[in-house]
Structure 1
């Protein structure tokens, strides 16, 4: 069974663009159902970033809790060391490395490495030495990294048009 670990930008772009809560609730319901089946999750640091928004998405994230936004566990600790070693062995600027090691991306990649998740992000690889992108870290560490659209295709997600809720 493939398990997917979602980056912060998946939730934010979904809410702001393609899968707004008001017009595509099926996307959010699909995430919840897939999480209940052990196939889709994220990490607590992503949940923290989302909850800091003070909006509908932050409420959604708060409601999901630790079942969706996984805390680090014992296998994540050695994975953090591997991710850090990879980052510091590359040609990134010192500021890029320092920033990466302080943000959720670092923990996301380590969690995926520790538990065999496929990482899902909107980020794309970059040759820039000024910022470590999630896909670059995944490539360097032998992890699979895909877009949310690829995840939805692989999982054969279907969002069926239903009746509109009546305005109150």
Structure 2
């Protein structure tokens, strides 16, 4: 199962899958959720609700799409925090990682449920001013991919051929 980071939704809305141009992407997200292919977490929903646009409206009407963090997930917090502290990150990066609830919780949740994290972030293990999701995922044994890999693995076809021209 895929677990989506907030940047997947935000970048899709702002760039290549806007609601008015590619509504099929958003429809597929709904279908994939109902088919237990993907979901996200409450902390991501909170980030999306902070806006005042189509994306916040979309997230507002899909509470079930975003799972709550549960007790089994909490048991991964210490391991994840310990890993981050052991990586020579700057203190500001550690503070941000600990307080940026969505990234931290996304990784812990994915580890607990053996999900693949979907994000647009790229690994940058040499940079010490920010903990990147792919680096933390790798350390925790959590698979990670970008949204285009997710679409390919899911064999998604957003086909316009059936539409009249």
- Alignment TM-score, normalising by the size of structure 2: 0.95
Using the size of structure 1 for normalisation, the TM-score is 0.93
Are 2:135 and 1:139 equivalent residues in the alignment?
no
CA distance in 1, matches of 2:71, 2:10: 29
Out of 90, 113, 117, the position equivalent to 1:93 is: 90
CA-based RMSD: 1.0
Who is 1:148 aligned against? 147
Residue 70 of structure 1 corresponds to 67
SS of 2:40's equivalent in the other structure is strand
For 2:77, which of 80, 83, 94 is the aligned residue? 80
Asked if residue 46 in structure 1 is aligned to residue 39 in structure 2, the reply is no
Structure 2 unaligned runs (5+)?
Answer: none
Q: CA deviation at 1:101?
A: 0.8
Q: Find the aligned partners of 2:79 and 2:52 in 1 and give their Cα distance.
A: 34
Runs (4+) off by over 6 Å: none
